[in-house]
Amino acid sequence: MTTAITAAAAMLPHAADAKSCSQQGEECRSWARNKVSAQYYDRYINRCSAETNACIARCKTGIKVFVDVFDSPGSVQQYPIDECR
């Protein structure tokens, strides 16, 4: 699984934009604030926060990706991370 995640992260178009788990988490929350309807807002803000913590834990084991929390049928995006913080 680690190889699959690493391979998937290598194919992402955002590789040049890699950042920390916290920065990616803030982008996730910002997207939720701007794009998610009020009905689902809290759900996605909570998902972004949970994924930020999961990203930090994963990163410390060497798996440096932030996993997208937004519902996408059939695919999951992963964003490469440079720093675990």
pLDDT in tens, 10-60: 444 444 476 999 999 999 999 999 999 999 999 999 999 999 999 999 999
Domain ranges for the chain: 2-83
Instruction: Decide if pLDDT at 9 tops 50.
Output: no
pLDDT at 4 over 60: no
pTM of this structure: 0.76
Q: At what angle do helices 41-59 and 21-35 cross, to 10 degrees?
A: 170
C-alpha–C-alpha distance, residues 62 and 23, integer Å: 18
